[in-house]
Amino acid sequence: MTDEILIVGGGFAGFWAAMAARRVVGDQVRVTMASREPVLQMRPRLYEAKPETLGADLLPLLDAAGVKFVQGEATGLDLARQTVVLASGANLPYARLVVATGSSMHRPPVPGAVAAYSIDSQRDAIASDRRLGEIARGIARPTVAVVGAGFTGIELALEMRDRIATHGGEAESLRIVLVDRAVTVGSELGAGPRTEIETALAAAGVECCLGVTIIALAANRVTFAAGPALDADAVVLATGMVASGFVRHVPGERDALGRIIVDRSLRAPAAPEVFVTGDAAAANTGDGHRALQSCQHALQLGRFAGENAARDLLGLPTVPYAQPRYVTCLDLGRSGAVLTQGWERTISKTGAEAKVLKRRINTVVIYPPTNVPGATLLALSSTDPAEQRLPG
């Protein structure tokens, strides 16, 4: 039997799970992270320009904290032998496993969906940005269709003119069409920020094509069940998230997004040595709400999962996950941003004031700190939010 804690996934939840586990076990137990690459992709920022810059190198941080890194894609799980299988055929043993494999975009189940662009990963966002560059340089009056009028789709549509301008194109000649089967934009955000969103879309000249059913997609066309097809120079999907494929190997009850319904310690009830976190976990935030597939929740879910996996291995009591404070800060492009508080999403800041906060979140808050000692990095992995602040 190995005494190793293995974290699978190198996103926000996986990184902080590794830090928290190392903090709890000290030098008693080896902590290993396995991921496709040692880069934290800044997925919340992939609607922005220059996506090739939106990754953070994790190796120096993992080294500073004493966490081993193994590069590889997890493809299988042997619960009886307590091993994770990599695509290379390698087997990684564990005494406790933290599944932090995140989420992936749900492509609509229609013909041609695979051909459309997306910003689901850094690689996808770079490919989409390359197409925007071609459009900016070669098409006089282009059309871009964004499919999905949720959080990501709204931010992407409202950034699109400036994205074209970044590539030297004529931003104001761009036609932007935001498409969704819902009859309102940002339907999952509720009524609170809707007026701000609709005002920003109108000010940006974004056309909304709502309440429609898509029956086929391509890189340059959206076909509807009724009415004429929409021809575009690029079709970019922002159609919501589901749990990653690896989580299917974990037994247990799932929610509609494919996430494992975990207990208050973030343990998979049907697999006692397995903890699930981040976008792969359907977790009670402590006030009856389910954590969202968001960076905001993943950062804290990771800390709790890593701490609890380590505590459980050492025979210590686990800490019930709780994250009752919930805010949203939605980028509204040239109209600034909108900040809401609570699950009722009551507006607390708008415009330029909210934009300053959004930029701080995107460029500082979600990033792991750099140039800090390993001890400081581990201290920031505490499950107590009051301890998650850099000195000064």
**Residue 83 contacts residue 92 (beta carbons within 8 Å):** yes
* Boundaries of every domain in the chain: 5-105+241-324, 113-237
Over the stretch 284-300, which tens digit does the pLDDT of each residue have? 999 999 999 999 999 99
Q: What CATH code is assigned to 5-105+241-324?
A: 3.50.50.60
For the cut 60, the answer to whether the pLDDT of residue 132 exceeds it is yes
Which residue is listed with tokens 């069940």? 225
Query: d(Cα 253, Cα 278) in Å, to the nearest integer?
Result: 16
Cβ count near 269 (within 10 Å) = 14
Q: What CATH code is assigned to 113-237?
A: 3.50.50.60
Q: How high is the pLDDT of residue 1?
A: 44
DSSP for 118-143? Answer: E-SSHHHHHHHHHHHHHHHHH-SS-E
Over the stretch 218-239, which tens digit does the pLDDT of each residue have? 999 999 999 999 999 999 999 9
Q: How high is the pLDDT of residue 112?
A: 97
- Burial letters for 57-89: b for 16+ Cβ neighbours within 10 Å, e otherwise? ebeebbebbebebbebebeebebeebbbbbeee
Q: How high is the pLDDT of residue 144?
A: 98
19-23, 145-149, 381-385: range with lowest mean pLDDT:
381-385
Over the stretch 50-98, which tens digit does the pLDDT of each residue have? 999 999 999 999 999 999 999 999 999 999 999 999 999 999 999 999 9
Query: d(Cα 130, Cα 167) in Å, to the nearest integer?
Result: 9
pTM: 0.95
Pairing mode of beta strands 234-237, 143-147: parallel
Same CATH fold assignment for domains 5-105+241-324 and 113-237: yes
Please compute the mean of the pLDDT values over residues 149-155 and round it to a whole number. 98
Please compute the mean of the pLDDT values over residues 254-282 and round it to a whole number. 98
